[in-house]
A and B are shown apart, each in its own frame.
Chain A
């Protein structure tokens, strides 16, 4: 399932890259979409569902979860 997230970290400048652990790079203040494969790897490495993992990530919010099937 593809995942669209937004990082809104007030301590970092807009556009600064952050690495979301095991998922990929996102830019602060911008919306980033990760592929099915990237999300599957993220869930596999952390052993939990993406929504649950993102809920525990500071300043990161899910914009959209979308099945590509």
Chain B
């Protein structure tokens, strides 16, 4: 029987043993997903008096895809544990999680992702966050996580329990350029951490990937601001860095703050598009490390207790 997206279910669980599937314990209301099993089969085309395909040779595979959802700290924290980050938890409820980048090649924590589509349930094991994109547009705070995983298999149908946490909307944000100076001229904000992960397949008795490896890190932000003076444009030309902070908060137990301590303007555009167009600046920042080796710090406050 055909089915629609509305009937979908997506749940996650942090794995006890990397790559070993765990049934979901946390369920995520999501906007869209593109998780898929990718298998690089090899065409068999030996010379044998025929120009056609003779067969296929089974190739190695891995899992990849994106999940987009409303960014709230109680759900985001699961993905940050499965990213190339050090997560330090303090407090006794609400909990404070401070997430900073690391240089590890192999993730310290992996997660299982379970997705019900129609009547079929796929379990993706050994998943890690290759890229994290956080975006505020039209008041909504959205997270897109790009995952890579090692294997896929059918799983039993989960019965979800849904979170009742408050999502962020207009009026919950503070955007500081530089950190400590709130600005009110920005309507689009986007932050991205890309650890360029790659599935690693080896010669084994399985077609699944052996592990996921991280490579070079890129961290950047993009904003759209009203253009009033060329002060920031001159900072671009002079390669002057500054600290930036975006905070989304509904209170002490529900907040997400992204600090980029050394932010260089990588691109600055302000143009006249037409008679009725407001003069805006499109600014892109590249985030470099500070003395502590952090090009970003993501701080979450939530009642969610991950042990």
Nearest neighbor of A23 in chain B, beta-carbon distance: B159
20 new A-B pairs (CB below 8 Å) besides A11-B25, A13-B305, A18-B163? A11-B306, A12-B305, A16-B303, A18-B162, A18-B164, A19-B161, A19-B163, A20-B159, A21-B159, A25-B164, A26-B161, A48-B157, A53-B159, A56-B23, A57-B158, A57-B159, A57-B160, A58-B23, A58-B25, A58-B158
Contact with A along B229-264 (1 / 0, CB 8 A): 000000000000000000000000000000000000
| Complex contact A57–B161 (CB within 8 A) | yes
Q: Which residue of B lies closest to A18 (CB)?
A: B161
Interface of chain B, helix or strand or loop or mixed?
A: loop
Q: Take A11-B25, A13-B93 as given contacts and tell me if A58 and B161 are in contact as well, using a CB distance cutoff of 8 Å.
A: yes
Chain B stretch 110-147: residues in CB contact (< 8 A) with chain A: none
Please report the C-alpha to C-alpha distance between residue A3 and residue B304 in the assembled complex, in whole angstroms: 27
The list of the 5 closest CB pairs from A to B, nearest first, reads A57-B159, A19-B162, A58-B25, A21-B160, A18-B161
Number of A-B contacts (CB under 8 A): 64
Q: How far is the CA of A1 from the CA of B159 in the complex (A)?
A: 19
A1-21 vs B: 1/0 string, CB under 8 Å? 000000101111100111111
Q: Which residues of chain A have C-beta atoms less than 8 A from B304's C-beta? A: 11-12
Binding site for B on A (CB under 8 A): 7, 9-13, 16-21, 25-26, 46, 48, 53-54, 56-60
Taking the closest CB of chain B, its distance from the CB of A57, in whole angstroms, is 4
Count chain B residues whose beta carbon lies closer than 8 angstroms to a beta carbon of A: 23
Q: Give A48 to B159 CA distance when docked, in angstroms.
A: 11
B161 touches A56 (CB 8 A): no
How far is A26 from B25 in the complex, measured between Cα atoms in Å?
16
Known contacts A11-B26, A59-B25; is A21 also within 8 Å of B161 by CB?
A: yes
9 contacts between A and B (CB under 8 A): A13-B303, A18-B162, A19-B163, A56-B157, A56-B159, A58-B23, A58-B24, A58-B26, A58-B161
Chain B contacts for A58, CB-based, 8 A: 11, 13, 23-26, 158, 161
Complex Cα–Cα for A36 and B158 (A): 22
What string of 1s and 0s marks CB contacts (under 8 Å) between B34-70 and chain A? 0000000000000000000000000000000000000
